[in-house]
A and B are shown apart, each in its own frame.
Chain A
Amino acid sequence: MEQLDFSKILEKIGPDKDLTKLNEEELLFYDMVRAIQSRSADDEKQIIQQVLKQFKNQQFIVKTNENRINMKSTNKIWIGIAAGVAILVVAYFFLSKPSASTDELFSANFKPSKEFVAKSKDKAMSYGMASTGTESRDSFLKALALYESNEYDQAMKILGPYVESYPTDNEARFHLSMCQIYREKYAPALVNLSKLNEVSKDLDPNLAEEIKYDLALCYLKMNDGKKQAKILFEQLVSMDGKHAKTAKGILEMMK
């Protein structure tokens, strides 16, 4: 197997990729290398996606700050012209605050949380799955591994039926909703996160906060969801947890 040379195999099959020209061992070797290349390309594509997403968000923030600076400069000119203190104050108050569309706010702030994967794994391994059986536990663990390696489509395929079978597994439902948001399936994600938010008192406070935050972001993607999103972001600010600062910033941008 190791003596085979992939470039020679490519030469052999030609541009039409006529695999019938290969013997069994060469064909297996070809499949292996193609799979390695495909997997590596997908991994690199995910890195590219993340880099560009972050880059676009950075550009968006820079643009917003530039707007703020420009607006402040404009305000100074207004003072020079002495158009009136009252007008200036009002203009400054309204114009100097950056604003953003709900879509932009969502894109700049949503990231599937990986924080609870380890805990979910531990729970599944120890006592949490005692009533569900080994097969279900294994499939749940596999879904978490896929989720962890950013394979949200594959993870969603397992988590969907799993949550249907075990509707009280809150961690599974949370990870399913993250996959759904990532894959732009906002409506089902909203349903799942709302269900979780309703039982938030029974959950780990950190998970409960994360659920509220993601639910708020999810509302930003819904028609007429802005009002509900604002309520949730306000709740997050008053909770004063991990997402309080971001929630405050988003509320500022939503004004």
Chain B
Amino acid sequence: MKIKTSMADDPELLELLRKGDSRGFKEIYLRTFKSVSHYVVDNSGRVEDAEDIFQDSLIALLNNIRKMDFQLTTSVDNYFLSIVRNLWLGQLKKRKMKNVENLDSLSEQWINIPEEDLDTMALENERQEKLYKEFALLGEDCKKLLTGFYYNHKSLEELSKLMNYTYDFIKVKKFRCMKELKSKLI
């Protein structure tokens, strides 16, 4: 799959992003980072904030587009910039910033993205923190399987093909991996 700089079609770009292909990351960076940077800097942020919010937004974008029921009603750029805007507004609220300017200058066509679709995966409790660390210590197959299923939103059928196992084996394997992770808590 060839991709010309800043000229990739949206479906092609979406496919690259879904797969976590680095060409997709570069493409979205080329298309939007300047706007993101100007927007954040114009609204009480620094370039470093722009880089952080860009990465968080990209993770949120990947999370959303990998969901089975995802449907894009605008361009990828617009959708991504809408995520950036929402996340940056959230940051400003957290920082209790006032007098922010140009808050609508990032994109001409805002998309309303529900807050629950902008999950940046922050952990909420100690148990999750512990599981977060223990997950990294699982075997490679378990990590691949659980990441594929719960993070990349792949089905067990897809994963069985991807990992070259039978469907039944993958189903049992997933159960065992979750059981192993659970056992780390005890």
Contact = CB atoms under 8 A, between A and B. Distances in A.
A8 to B, nearest CB: 14
Contacts of A1: 175, 178-179, 182
Given A41-B63, A41-B151, A51-B22, A2 B178 contact: yes
Interface string B13-57: 000000010100110010000000000000000000000000110
Nearest to A15: B116
B127 interface: yes
Contacts of A52: 25-26, 29, 55
Contacts of A45: 55-56, 59
A39 B114 contact: no
A36 B135 contact: yes
B114 A15 contact: yes
Contact of A48 (B25, B116, B131): B25
Nearest to B23: A51
Interface in B121-170: 121-125, 127-132, 134-136, 146-147, 150-152
B62 interface: yes
Chain B interface mostly helix, strand, loop or mixed?
helix
Interface string A18-58: 00000000001001111111111111110111011001000
B81 interface: no
Contact of A49 (B55, B62, B124): B55
Given A36-B131, A39-B135, A39-B136, 14 more contacts: A2-B175, A6-B150, A28-B182, A32-B182, A34-B128, A35-B130, A35-B131, A36-B135, A38-B123, A39-B132, A41-B120, A42-B121, A43-B147, A48-B55
Task: Please give me the 8 A-B residue pairs with the lowest Cβ-Cβ distance, nearest first.
Answer: A35-B131, A40-B151, A38-B121, A41-B121, A2-B175, A40-B147, A51-B22, A35-B132
Interface of A: 1-2, 6, 15, 28, 31-45, 47-49, 51-52, 55, 149
